[in-house]
Chains A and B, each alone.
Chain A
Amino acid sequence: MNQKSVKKTNFVYLLLTIFVPIVLIGLLGYVGYTFFRDGGTGAVICFMAPTLLSVVWWIFGPTMIWKQRKKAMERKLDEQGFTRNQTFYGSSQTVVVDIKQGKIALLFFWNPFETYILPANRVTKAWADDGAAGSGFMRGTSRVSFLFVIDGVQVRVNTFTSNQRWKMNDEHVLTGISKADMWVQVLAAAREAAGR
């Protein structure tokens, strides 16, 4: 069981993800400028390759790491006898609950190397947010989520997101609300099992 308090973002990882490619671009740019001032293949490699690789890294790198870490997390949970009763794969966090043992496992996109396996009674509050806004025929939502506070850290897990506002009785919104409500109940059941 993880004794560390929950941290959603590992700033070292975040900064390395962003700045290592920039440093590489600068470094190879310097090499290109120093040694291949007249142009040629060397200059092309030094100036273009790191830039292209960096863009590819920024687009796919963290997502690939995230996918691998999610699989590693599942393996770890299975090895530890954690029964995955409910799993929610959010865009920036994965939440897994073992209702019977009263445990919750968390993995965050920006802190993918730390899997938190905690007693669910460390969740102090859990609620659903339907994101309803507007009035009359304009009433709707663009985000539905469930939230919980664990170790004083608020975690928001989106069950529905859109760049538009959808009516509250739209089927996608209803699905999102249902998932959020269900997860609040799941967390409550796990807390109950862990002993409030």
Chain B
Amino acid sequence: MGLIDRWLRKYQDDWCRDCKCVMEKVQKQLYALPSVTVGHYVERKDPEFYAKNLYIVDKKADIPSGIYACGAIQYRCPECGKRLTVLDPFLPVRNEEKHENSVVFRNGELDDILWK
């Protein structure tokens, strides 16, 4: 693996930094973030906030206009078994999505809430 490739991989969410391999998707779920509306998004890295404000939805169409959605994906490293959760907050707008920076939880902070 070249240097540039290694550098790029370091910043990918689905890359195990210890084993240097791609992690596999274990499960994913779509949530609504009704407390965050269009024009009022602030990046939050506090797991408490997500624990209190995420509500499971089946599909994007269930989320009213102007309300943020949040995709949650749990990854697992096939070699060391380490798990991490990536939250991808986005604003669904008709057929488009406006994505914000993803938030990564590497120490299972949300596992009990999201994947119970």
Residues of A with Cβ closer than 8 Å to B?
A: 168-169, 171, 174-175, 177-179, 181-185
Contact for B38 among A168, A169, A179, A184, CB less than 8 A: A179
Docked complex Cα distance between A171 and B93 (Å): 10
Taking chain A's interface residues, is the majority helix, strand, or loop, or is none over half, making it mixed?
helix
Range of interface residues on B (Cβ < 8 Å): 10 to 19
Residues on the A chain within 8 Å of B66, using CB: 178-179, 181-183, 185
Residue of A nearest to B65 (CB): A181
B65 touching A182 by the CB < 8 A rule? yes
Residues on the B chain within 8 Å of A169, using CB: 96
Say yes or no: is B64 at the interface (Cβ < 8 Å to chain A): yes
Question: From residue B89, how far is it (CB to closest CB) to chain A in Å?
Answer: 13
Which residues from 1 to 50 on chain B have a C-beta closer than 8 Å to any C-beta of chain A?
A: 37-39
A175 touching B65 by the CB < 8 A rule? no
What are some 20 contacts across the A-B interface (CB < 8 A)? A168-B96, A169-B96, A171-B98, A174-B91, A174-B98, A175-B39, A175-B91, A175-B93, A175-B98, A178-B38, A178-B98, A179-B38, A181-B65, A181-B93, A182-B37, A182-B65, A183-B66, A184-B65, A185-B65, A185-B66
The residue in B64, B91, B93, B96 that gathers the most chain A C-beta atoms within 10 A of its C-beta is: B93
Question: From residue A72, how far is it (CB to closest CB) to chain B in Å?
Answer: 24
Say yes or no: is B52 at the interface (Cβ < 8 Å to chain A): no
Docked complex Cα distance between A169 and B98 (Å): 8
Contact for B91 among A178, A183, A184, CB less than 8 A: A178
Which residues from 92 to 116 on chain B have a C-beta closer than 8 Å to any C-beta of chain A?
A: 93-94, 96, 98
